[in-house]
Chains A and B, each alone.
Chain A
Amino acid sequence: MALLDIRDLSVNFRVAGGEVAAVRRASFQIDKGETVALVGESGSGKSVTALSVLQLLPYPVASHPSGSITVDGVEMIGASETTLQKIRGNRITMVFQEPMTSLNPVHTVERQVNEVLLLHQGMSTAQARARTLELLHMVGLQEAERRLGAYPHELSGGQRQRVMIAMALANKPDLLIADEPTTAVDVTIQAQLLKLLGELQQKLGMAMLLITHDLGIVRKIAKRVCVMQQGAIVEQGDTAQVFGAPQHPYTKLLLAAEPKGRPPQRPDGARPVMRGTDVKVHFPIKKGVFKRTVAHVKAVDGVSLTVREGHTVGVVGESGSGKTTLGLALLRLLRSQGAIVFAELAIDGLGWRDLRPLRRSMQIVFQDPYGSLSPRLSVGQIIEEGLLVHTGLRDRDERRRVIGQALSEVGLDPETQDRYPHEFSGGQRQRIAIARAMVLKPRFVVLDEPTSALDMSVQAQIVDLLRDLQQKHNLAYLFISHDLRVVRAMADEVIVMRDGRVVESGTAEQVFDHPQTDYTKALMAAAFELDVRYVDAVRT
């Protein structure tokens, strides 16, 4: 008998004016010790399926019109609170995506892990402490004894996720549900966590339900895979088989959607558009009553780069390495030191007023398409904002025409300009953000992780769009990303940053195919093979 048996599961949510089906008749099984991956894009019902296993959905807003979920033959739907308590956090445990919000910020690491032990196993405090230490060692948390008294904010993202896993393992569960466990952490940490999960699973013989949108992870660790689309499981089977010979069109689409390709060959001798020499951004650390500056956080520490017309410079690095700060400094949206030359004009000394006419030639596209569009303005109003500042385009009809043109250039219907951002999907919103930048006909665009918040299939489309626009308008891009696959598809030159400094730089071929430093090698291994190498060069 399967450990977890889900049959015909449906989940409905009650909303104003009706019900929405989040999961439609999903069925799958997990055997003891087996790893099953649930893949699909955001909104496909992956997390809802996982949450209904433990009956953690907001009932009665959520309901199950059909289906059954059995754990070792025990029915979960409609089970009593006592039955559920025995299974939750004991036989089945969960690890969530966002380790910062899944840990209670006011409790120490020891207390959080202890809680599980005291609640379910009735240990004494001393026993629990010993077991907690053992668990923390097991999940590879360094200096575990010292970290017992640490609060979540004192730990890095990877360390927090390790603590979460320790909590999940405390009661030796039969099934671990991991909901996007590595999405919020850097690639090198991701590789480490995946390795850890694989090892722990082997050692403890537990089954794992892995929820992810990253096909690379599925390929690496899952034995079987279920592909979800709009709440339904459209294909399931052996990972190798599904990936090797996909049957359903959606699976084929997903597999084909990974950003591929290389930037086209560019003619040599293109003019430089943006040149930064020894750019530094230091944030003061102030202490004491009089807020004296005692030290500086060197967010960007002496970076030099040149971006040429029609070329893309990729900036890669882990979070906190200063990538975004560099982009903002080059656009003079942050105070910085060092020479910045834009189109043969030194702009590092210019004031806000003198910069205004230049603003239309240098633009930025942000990572989060939900945060970068004002929810209260229509799409047309969002795009026309720059036009109103920089062109004397007073005629309404003419402006509508220009906005419509910009929208159709990014692949949207010109008539959508009267609608509001919330009516669009993430990918469409990112297109609007791109249209806002492109309508001014800029020469230099900073792309700050423009694909990171998007689903895989949409990422590829946005990459294609950006490449087309670049060719058409001979744009210079500074492409900031932690996703090396996307950078590979976009960049002519690459800068690898760490702690505000350039670790390695060169043409894309050089850096990707023949990395020189251990750090870059570790980054490549983690990103392309999900493998842990050159451990000394990266953080844990």
Chain B
Amino acid sequence: MSEAVITTTRRTVADDHVFGLRLTPLARRRLRNFRANRRGFWSLVVFAVLFVGSLFAEFIANDRPLLVSFEGRWLVPVLVDYPETRFGGDFETAADYRDPFVRGLIDERGWAVWPAVPFSYRTINYQLSVPAPAPPSVDNWLGTDDQGRDVVARLIYGFRISVLFGLVLTLISSIIGIAAGAWQGYSGGLVDLVFQRFIEIWNGIPVLFLLIILASIIQPSFWMLMGILLLFSWDALVGVVRAEFLRARNFDYVRAARALGVRDAKIMFKHLLPNAMVSTLTFLPFILAGSVTILTSLDFLGFGLPPGSASLGELLNQAKNNLTAPWLGLTAFLSIAVMLVLLIFVGEAVRDAFDPRKNLG
């Protein structure tokens, strides 16, 4: 029965290229399966648009104009710091474009193009008509937090740092995890045994408590936090990669390569790693979602990024402290939920794409 199915996949398809790369028939089938999962495909598109958009956060939400025409000259305050004196002001310091005085000076002899959200993540809106946290209004679309900072701006910057942090953490921990798992699986025997026990003990360490203790000793920065979290997240992929290597190292084509005298490192890269990549890629979106969540929860507890940074966890914490301002909680909840749901949908589609039994559509 399966024989009949196999013979049909054997028909040759014309070679096609994606981004200049020649696709193997296998990769082509996986791409097709991924696209066949409409929900996952569109989730990836939406997520990619949001993420790439947030990379240009400075051009979307900023407290400086994108472009100023002043006395017939073009100025780009978003990229260059201009002193207030440049516009005929009094101080040598960088111009505060939100100051009505500076605005007046610019409007007198030129004009300015503002970003869609005229606030940066740390801009405090001093022109609030009600005490902060202010409810949504024409100026602040999603209101402000309890320090008068615009929620939309903080959301955009917070999303960016969350995803960036998650991506970097996932990437580094995957590289370490794959290397460790590969070594363990390929060696087998005593190395495998000792290393497995070590990982079990390592996993027994209560991560959150350790982080709280560490955070009280050192001031966590982006990279410091990354390093600490890396200590406990690198082993996520070790299990699957190790299992794949253990399984595949006795395959006939690996034996054949050994009989040809191919070096171990080459065998691992050329023959074994591609096997492990399937399960690795399947796990990746879920690990990314996990990394984003752990940063958010640390920020929520106040042990995360330095005070003042835009972060979704900090927004959640504010929402908890200001139950009378539901726009904070709703925004934080919805944005985190949407982000994680998108990632999970993408993960499901990736899983479908690598499922060898799925060939319909």
Question: Which A residues form the contact surface with B (CB < 8 A)?
Answer: 13-16, 18, 20, 22, 42-43, 45, 47-48, 51, 57-58, 62, 231, 328, 331, 333, 355-357, 359-360, 362-364, 366-368, 371-378, 382, 385-386, 389-390, 419-420, 422-423, 433, 436, 440
Contacts and interface: CB of A to CB of B under 8 A. Distances in A.
A372 B3 CA distance: 19
A58 B1 contact: yes
Nearest to B10: A423
Contact of B256 (A13, A356, A433): A433
A364 B256 CA distance: 7
Contact of A22 (B4, B251, B257, B271): B4
B1 A372 contact: no
Nearest to B275: A376
A264 B118 CA distance: 91
B253 A373 contact: yes
Nearest to A371: B252
Listed from nearest, the 5 A-B pairs whose CB atoms lie closest are A359-B261, A372-B252, A22-B4, A43-B3, A386-B260
Nearest to A23: B4
A367 B7 CA distance: 21
B264 to A, nearest CB: 9
Contact of B1 (A14, A57, A374, A382): A57
16 contacts: A13-B1, A13-B4, A13-B5, A15-B9, A42-B3, A51-B1, A62-B1, A331-B259, A355-B261, A357-B261, A359-B259, A366-B256, A371-B252, A373-B253, A374-B270, A436-B260
Nearest to B271: A374
A51 B3 CA distance: 14
Contact of A419 (B7, B12, B255, B274): B12
Contacts, number: 107
Given A47-B1, A333-B255, A359-B261, A420 B271 contact: no
B255 A360 contact: no
Contact of B24 (A16, A48, A420): A420
B4 A45 contact: yes
Nearest to B3: A43
A368 B5 CA distance: 20
Contacts of A422: 9-10, 25-26
A372 B257 CA distance: 9
Contact of A20 (B8, B251, B252, B270): B8
Interface in B1-36: 1, 3-10, 12, 24-26, 32
B258 interface: yes
B359 interface: yes
Contact of A356 (B7, B252, B261): B261
B257 A333 contact: no
B48 interface: no
B130 interface: no
A16 B6 CA distance: 11
B4 A20 contact: yes
A361 to B, nearest CB: 10
Nearest to B33: A16
B288 to A, nearest CB: 25
A422 B256 CA distance: 18
Given A333-B255, A366-B252, A48 B262 contact: no
Contacts of B271: 374
Nearest to A51: B1
A459 B197 CA distance: 48
Nearest to A366: B252
Contacts of A58: 1
Interface string B25-67: 1100000100000000000000000000000000000000000
B334 interface: no
Contacts of B7: 20, 43
Given A366-B252, A389-B262, A420 B1 contact: no
Interface residues of B, dominant DSSP = helix
Interface string B209-253: 000000000000000000000000000000000000000000111
Interface in B268-319: 270-271, 274
Contacts of B262: 385-386, 389
A172 to B, nearest CB: 28
B52 to A, nearest CB: 31
B210 to A, nearest CB: 32
Contacts of B257: 385
Interface residues of B, number: 32
Given A366-B252, A368-B252, A376-B274, A385 B260 contact: yes
A389 B259 CA distance: 11
Nearest to A439: B260
A477 to B, nearest CB: 15
A148 B10 CA distance: 46
B4 A372 contact: no
Interface of B: 1, 3-10, 12, 24-26, 32, 251-253, 255-263, 270-271, 274, 359-361
Contacts of A15: 5, 8-9, 359-360
Contacts of A20: 4-5, 7-8
A359 B260 contact: yes
Given A13-B5, A58-B1, A420 B258 contact: no
Nearest to B1: A48
Nearest to A448: B252
A372 B258 contact: no
Contacts of B32: 16
Contacts of A231: 4
Contact of A43 (B4, B258, B270, B360): B4
A386 B267 CA distance: 12
A370 to B, nearest CB: 9
A333 B249 CA distance: 13
Contacts of A18: 8
Contacts of B361: 16
Contact of A371 (B25, B251, B359): B251
A355 B263 CA distance: 12
A18 B9 CA distance: 11
Contacts of A390: 260-261
A16 B359 contact: yes
A357 B261 CA distance: 8
Nearest to B361: A16
A378 B263 CA distance: 20
For B4, B5, B10, B257, the residue with the greatest tally of chain A CB atoms inside 10 Å of its CB is B4
A287 to B, nearest CB: 16
A18 B8 CA distance: 9
A8 B69 CA distance: 84
B17 to A, nearest CB: 14
A47 B258 CA distance: 37
Given A48-B4, A372-B253, A389 B261 contact: yes
Contacts of A436: 256, 260
Contacts of A374: 253, 270-271, 274
Contacts of B4: 13, 20, 22, 43, 45, 48, 231
Contacts of A13: 1, 4-5
Contacts of B270: 374, 377, 385
Contacts of B359: 15-16
For B6, B255, B263, B361, the residue with the greatest tally of chain A CB atoms inside 10 Å of its CB is B255
A366 B259 CA distance: 11
Contacts of A362: 259
Contacts of A373: 253
Nearest to A18: B8
A148 to B, nearest CB: 33
Contact of A376 (B9, B24, B256, B260): B24
Nearest to B190: A291
